[in-house]
Amino acid sequence: MATGIKDKVAIIGMGCTKFGERWDVGAEELMLEAYEECLADAGIEQKDIQAAWFGTCMDEVNVGKTAMPLSVTLHLPMIPVTRVENYCASGTEAFRGACYAVASGAYDVCLALGVEKLKDTGYGGLPGAGSNAGTLIWQWWPNLTAPGSFAQLASAYAAKYKIKPEDLKRAMAHVSAKSHANGTLNPKAHLQKAVTEDQILAAPIIAHPLGLFDCCGVSDGSACAIVTTPEIAKKMGKKDFVSVKALQIVLSSGEEMAYNDWDCDHFLTTSKCSTMAYKEAGIENPRKEISMMEVHDCFSITEFVTYEDLHISERGKAREDIMNGFYDLHGGGVPCQLDGGLKCFGHPIGASGLRMLYEMYLQLHGRAGKRQIENPRLGLTHNLGGFPFQNICSVAIIGKYKG
């Protein structure tokens, strides 16, 4: 019977670049920047790495379609390297490949690295999907924009729970202001300036009701992890190391929009994926057992509804928790976006999932500086790729090893 990978994988090193408009470097330099920190953190030599997984999404404007850029850039020692892509979960997908490889016993030490270089395209948002997207574009998403789609999510949620527009926007403003405040404490964040709720509410509208500060930006960045088994970590002399408690991914079949009465007020994939992750991790009450979260805040409303989809807030009650400070960094029940989130880091797609894990990893080791929370036990990360109509969700849970 399948038992999952709880405590079968140890994270012994992580690295992350500064995110931002990195005009001075290419994707290769970003990969190297993250990798050097990760390798030093792990305290191993490059020759100890036996296989690698490479997460990147926009191959047409980034590093290309193969895994070769990782192998060549890092001068990896003639080992298997696999490139993976799964929309906004691409970084977590690389991590999943590396974790499953060591959990299975196929390899002893594996690398997962994600990168995306988007700012050199000369385009203000994500690059156009083009003809390669095929059916998803011409049949499902004609004239689609990300802000427009997630604005529909906001309107649907407000309609379902009878929330006044001004109350919804105030809660979304609190979500963004909280993340910006956290970002001021993080030297690796793209945006490091606090913004008030009133400034957020007064900003130009992008797609009603989403304003400028409800939307995350576009940036460049890379992050990576080195994993092994707990047994090998112990032999290396590692103490109090971090292990993987759960790692799940769910993809929509499209049924939400096409085949039932789903009303676009939440994400079925996140609800199902988190339930699977909690079962794998042995978590019965996530509101009390999860210590902290990094969720996919591509828009403030996405983070808003994700609180409920992760079963932390009750359905229709997220606004109340938000305004009560439940997700704030200091004094909150479950602090969210401790490093500033996508809101302050931007979203270099292949890197985001691993960047989220990097913050949880720092927190668990007590190395998060002014962002550090007291006695973290379990950290959750969440990616949501695609759009409200069809999407991909990944959830990872990590914590200190107990065994």
- Per-residue model confidence as pLDDT tens digits over 149-201: 899 899 999 999 999 999 999 999 999 999 999 999 999 999 999 999 999 99
pLDDT of the residue at 21: 94
Share of the chain above pLDDT 70, in %: 92
Amino acid identity for residue 370 in this structure: K
pLDDT of the residue at 5: 95
Surface-to-core class of residue 162, CB atoms within 10 Å of its CB (0-12 exposed, 13-18 middle, 19+ buried): exposed
Q: Is the pLDDT of residue 81 over 60?
A: yes
Cα separation of 88 and 299, whole Å? 13
Cα separation of 392 and 396, whole Å? 14
Most confident of 137-146, 174-183, 385-394: 174-183
266, 296, 347, 382: the catalytic one is: 347
Q: Which residues contact 89 (CB under 8 A, 6 or more apart)?
A: 249, 353, 383, 384, 385, 392, 393, 394
The candidate with the shortest Cα–Cα distance to 70, out of 45, 88, 42, 91, is 91
Task: Note the residue count of the chain.
Answer: 403
Q: Is the pLDDT of residue 317 over 80?
A: yes
pLDDT of the residue at 170: 98
pLDDT of the residue at 279: 97
Query: Could you tell me if 372 and 366 are in contact, meaning their C-beta atoms sit under 8 angstroms apart?
Result: yes
Q: What is the mean pLDDT of residues 3-9?
A: 94
The candidate with the shortest Cα–Cα distance to 5, out of 118, 81, 96, is 96
Place of tokens 């339930």: 275
38, 57, 88, 110: the catalytic one is: 88
The alpha carbon dihedral of 182, 187, 190, 191 has a sign of positive
Query: Up-side HSE of residue 212: CA atoms within 13 Å toward CB?
Result: 9
Cα separation of 219 and 125, whole Å? 10
Query: Could you tell me if 186 and 192 are in contact, meaning their C-beta atoms sit under 8 angstroms apart?
Result: yes
Mean pLDDT for the chain overall: 92
Place of tokens 């085949």: 259
Query: Could you tell me if 202 and 176 are in contact, meaning their C-beta atoms sit under 8 angstroms apart?
Result: no
| pLDDT per residue as tens digits for the range 100-129 | 999 999 999 999 999 999 887 655 555 555
Higher pLDDT, 152 or 288: 288
Share of the chain above pLDDT 90, in %: 81
Beta bridge partners of 292: 379
Surface-to-core class of residue 220, CB atoms within 10 Å of its CB (0-12 exposed, 13-18 middle, 19+ buried): buried
pLDDT of the residue at 384: 94
Q: Is the pLDDT of residue 385 over 90?
A: no
- Average the pLDDT over each of 122-136, 217-231, 377-391 and give the range with the smallest value: 122-136
Helices marked H in 161-251 — which ranges?
165-183, 197-202, 230-235
Q: How many helices (H) and strands (E) does the chain have?
A: 15, 11
Q: Is the pLDDT of residue 330 over 90?
A: no
Query: Could you tell me if 140 and 61 are in contact, meaning their C-beta atoms sit under 8 angstroms apart?
Result: no
pLDDT of the residue at 147: 85
- 88 catalytic residue (yes or no): yes
Q: Is the pLDDT of residue 296 over 80?
A: yes
Domains of the chain: 10-122+220-235 (3.40.47.10), 145-207+247-400 (3.40.47.10)
Q: Is the pLDDT of residue 375 over 50?
A: yes
pLDDT of the residue at 134: 52
pLDDT-based confidence at residue 131 (cuts at 50, 70, 90): very low
Query: What global pTM score does this model have?
Result: 0.94
Amino acid identity for residue 303 in this structure: E
What the block records as the tokens of 112 is 């997962």
| pLDDT per residue as tens digits for the range 234-265 | 999 998 999 999 999 999 987 777 766 778 88
Q: What is the mean pLDDT of residues 193-216?
A: 96
Q: What is the mean pLDDT of residues 223-234?
A: 98
pLDDT-based confidence at residue 356 (cuts at 50, 70, 90): very high
Query: Could you tell me if 56 and 115 are in contact, meaning their C-beta atoms sit under 8 angstroms apart?
Result: yes
